[in-house]
Amino acid sequence: LPELGRLNRRQIAALAGLAPFTRQSGQWRGKSFIGGGRKSVRCALFVSALSAKTHNKTFKTFFENLVKAGKPKMVAMIAVARKLLTQINAMIRDNRPWTEQKT
């Protein structure tokens, strides 16, 4: 993603295919889904999110809180991937190294 650091969090999530899109038509309300974007980036972020959820306290807590709130585990994993992407984007934009967030 050469655009990292240049786009805002919503734009970068859409570019990677991690932005939720809602299916609606008139009275019918469907579920949100992700798609589009760059599949290879989305797959790499998903695998990275799996590792981050397991080994990083911040992401693990974020995932567990979403699941406790009633979100399906796959939805929570995509949220972790999107959070990881937005943090990487901010790190590159601000030219700063990774620092563990305090929860």
- Region of poorest pLDDT, from 10-19, 24-33, 48-57: 24-33
Flag whether 21 is in a domain. Answer: no
Flag whether 27 is in a domain. Answer: no
Flag whether 48 is in a domain. Answer: yes
pLDDT at 52 > cutoff 60: yes
Domain that includes residue 5, residue range: 1-15+36-102
Crossing angle for the helix pair 39-55 and 57-68, to the nearest 10 degrees:
100
Residue 68's alpha-carbon distances to 6, 60, 94, in angstroms, are 34, 12, 33
List 43's β-bridge partners, or say none. Answer: none
pLDDT digits (tens, 9 = 90+) for 26-35: 776 777 778 7
The tally of domains found in the chain comes to: 1
Flag whether 30 is in a domain. Answer: no
List 22's β-bridge partners, or say none. Answer: 32
